[in-house]
Structure 1
Amino acid sequence: MPSTTTTTTTTAIEEPPLQIDLSAPLKNHPPLIAPEPEHCPGPESNLAGAGSACAGCPNQAICASTPKGPDPDIPLINQRLSSITHKILILSGKGGVGKSTFTTMLAHAFASSSTHTVGIMDTDICGPSIPKMLGVEQETIHISNQGWSPVWVTDNLSVMSVQFMLPSRDDAVIWRGPKKNGLIKQFLKDVEWGPLDYLLVDTPPGTSDEHLSVNTYLRESGLSGAVVVTTPQEMSLLDVRKEIDFCNKAGIKVLGIVENMSGYVCPGCRHVNRVFKATTGGGSELARECGVPFLGKVPLDPRIGMACDYGESFFEGFPDSPACEALRKVVERVKEEVGVKEEGE
């Protein structure tokens, strides 16, 4: 008898598509920043690491082992810097916004007036680029009985940087925080800056050891404030908000925000074209949002990079550039914020 084969056909049952509510609120994530302790005695207190509020703190052992009381070098720093009228920090929330380039151009802008004496302190220990931009990369520090002498770029512009201490310009500085902070203290305590109208302190990106050290050492000697550098796009503004929050918590006056690279200057026709679009309003809108002054927009001129590569002053080479015009306005705004009045005002 022939066999019979039964074929069973299975019909696939289609599942309904997954419905996603795009308007639903995001999940509540835990805060990334721990709340500040309410009764923290502070690392300089005699109760640091031993007080009742220190129990359970992850930094208890660190605070207990640090020296107590005020830093004994603070009076020496105050005395050394007493001849400097205005001390200004140059800050940025992130790298790549042209902060060091802006610092050198701002210094040249201040020094373009023969009545102003300007100094730059390069606290970017791991990336000291200021000497290269100023054309003094091969110079060394002279030490006398008065202290360390800064390197003079022009008759009224000086600079101090770790680059002058390195055997080669290609040598990396691989230091932990305490050693970097110790060098910053030496720049303030041992350098014979002499009488200066403006000391511009170029800092690395972020809100880390170098920023805390500079603020601690300069607080009592009279820190005029900080100029925050950004670029127009939102990715830069996000970190600038953190930088402004750091200044508020550290008690540093924000002199204003500068929008760097706000446009591209055509060397032929001097027309400024917006390269980085300000999708959320740029630096001016951020300044309005944070309640701080907006100092101006500085466009990107391709000749700036050439001048920095050769260590030449962009102000002397291309004084009619829109970038120079913008920086002159920034200088005037900074003077207003620090309370400088020119003759005749």
Structure 2
Amino acid sequence: MTGQPIVSVSGLTKRFGDVVAVDGVDLDIARGELFALLGGSGCGKTTLLRMLAGFATPDAGRILIDGQDMTGVPPHRRPVNMMFQSYALFPHMDVAANVGYGLRREGVAKPEIARRVAEALEQVRLAEQSRRRPDQLSGGQRQRVALARALVKRPKLLLLDEPLAALDRKLREGTRFELVRLQEELGLTFVMVTHDQEEAMSMATRMAVMDRGRIEQVGDPHTIYEHPRTRFVADFIGIANILPVEDRRAWLALRPEKIGLYAERPATDRAEPGRVVDIAYEGDRSLYRVALDGGRVLMVSTANVARHPREPWPRGGAVWLGWSEDAAQRLEE
């Protein structure tokens, strides 16, 4: 990271009774990033986001936004805006009125409101829908109205709480590209909370994987996937076979797609005989559970590139597994 980070968090802690929701987090987010906080339910990601927004008060630690200490600064005085999962649109207002609501509350002059609302709607490609009410829009359009309402106040930092959760799968896929496009065009910093690893991997420039209030690893999606540092990260991101190192005090993560299936012993660095236990056909790929002679079961993924696979690997069939020595990643634990 070069230059001063737009967000700098140090020693951030938040407790709810006996539960430590965020546990001494240190984190820097660069200006212009689309940064994802990724983790399962209860990992602390939403609490961390709410502290950045000012909706939750830390028990310890410090938050700097654009070099300014945010201790005691209320939400409406922070250079931050937040887009909620529910979108929270007013059903009786049309799109333009929803987008301009915050500006009206701040007493901005009507001509300025009209200009900025028009600009925001143009950015999210909803200019022609300005007079429609939320119930006349699709789920994806309502999501863009909520985004325009957040953008119209020109925040330095835009916080998104599970921004695609309310959309169906097909719409989510298209909206991902729209959000990334918009973030790149505007040059704004987005901080996004999600439990969906596919969403984070496909959208974020960098991401933090969280567990039990702590950050397990920070990095770009490629680094997080190919070089997980801990068993938790390897297990949480995608699928990983966790193998013991020979001294039994360390572990290796081996991704299913790094393993080949063969009818005979392959000339690879590592080769193991086994038997197919289960097969899951997933369209673009097939997942195999293969039991090795010693009893360990490995997951193997094959791409379905041909309409009719050349090698049938039936359930119960004998196979060989092979992989290169550098296919496995040593974990820190």
Instruction: Please give the TM-score of this superposition, normalised by the length of structure 1.
Output: 0.30
TM-score, L = length of structure 2: 0.31
Higher strand share: 2
Higher helix share: 1
Q: Which has the larger radius of gyration?
A: 1
